[in-house]
Structure 1
Amino acid sequence: MGPMTEQLIDVLDQLATVLESDGDTHWSQWIRKARAHVMNSDYYGIEFLLSGYGGAGSFSDLILGQSSINGAFAWKPGHVELNNKFDALRDEAAALAGTIKRSQG
């Protein structure tokens, strides 16, 4: 396993933690599935991860820190910082996976 793959695994761990800290289960499970494939040196994990980027309702569209209080939309405290961290990790994961994919082709 190369250093870029190891870095991607670390970023995926961080992404799952951030998602779970906001109460997300769908995308955190998706990230953990991609991570498991990458950990097993299964290239499908790269394809699976990249498949979530782009398109309506995709991982690219996800915004964290939203809630509902008495049926009304509200932002959770710290939502700006949470989304800044999440965006940076999401972008880093896509960049690493894209670079790994290009190196395989």
Structure 2
Amino acid sequence: MAHSVDHLASLIDQTAELLKTHGEEHWADWMEADARAIRARDGWGLEHFLAAFGGSGSLRDLIFHPMNGNAASDAEGRTATERLDELLSEAYPIALDLERELIDLAEDG
């Protein structure tokens, strides 16, 4: 579990840095708070991270594009959006697995 926690926090840090680089401060701050909490083994961080994926206006809806003011060109926007998708696609299942492990531990304890 420790390796997964560290890996997830690293992925979230990379996500925050990408978001910050492109002026998405709200989501960058959200991710930074989650990474800190996850490193501290605070279950809130997992719950909060997973909440970023739900409903309209979620992190998954974010597209980097000049019209959105978060990319200088179409090409930069595509590259950043693809990188965001890669990071989130790797981080999400790890977060789900860790959340299940925490639930199992709570039920067994």
| Structure 2 runs not aligned, ≥5 long | 104-109
Contact 2:31 2:49 in 1 (8 A): yes
Residues 48-90 of structure 1, C-alpha deviation per residue, up to 9 Å, x if partnerless?
A: 1101112011112111233368xxxx86242111111110101
Aligned-partner SS, 1:87: helix
Identical amino acids, percent of aligned pairs:
28
In structure 2, distance between residues paired with 1:50 and 1:96: 10
Paired residue secondary structure (1:67): helix
2:97 corresponds, among 90, 96, 99, to: 99
Q: Distance in 2 between matches of 1:3 and 1:68?
A: 36
* Contact 2:63-2:77 within 8 A present in 1 as well: no
1 CA distance for matches of 2:68 and 2:49? 29
Q: What TM-score do you get using the length of structure 2 for normalisation?
A: 0.83
TM-score by length of 1: 0.86
Aligned to 1:64: 64
Structure with a larger share of its residues in strand: 1
Q: CA 1:4 to 1:75, structure 2 compared with 1: closer, same or farther past 3 Å?
A: same
1:8 alignment partner, SS class:
helix
Q: CA shift at 1:23, angstroms?
A: 1.1
Q: CA deviation at 1:95?
A: 1.2
Residue ranges of structure 1 left out of the alignment (5+ in a row):
none
Q: Secondary structure at the match of 2:28?
A: helix
Distance of 1:68 and 1:36 partners within structure 2: 28
* Runs of 4+ with deviation above 4 angstroms: none
RMSD: 2.0
Greater fraction of residues in helix = 2
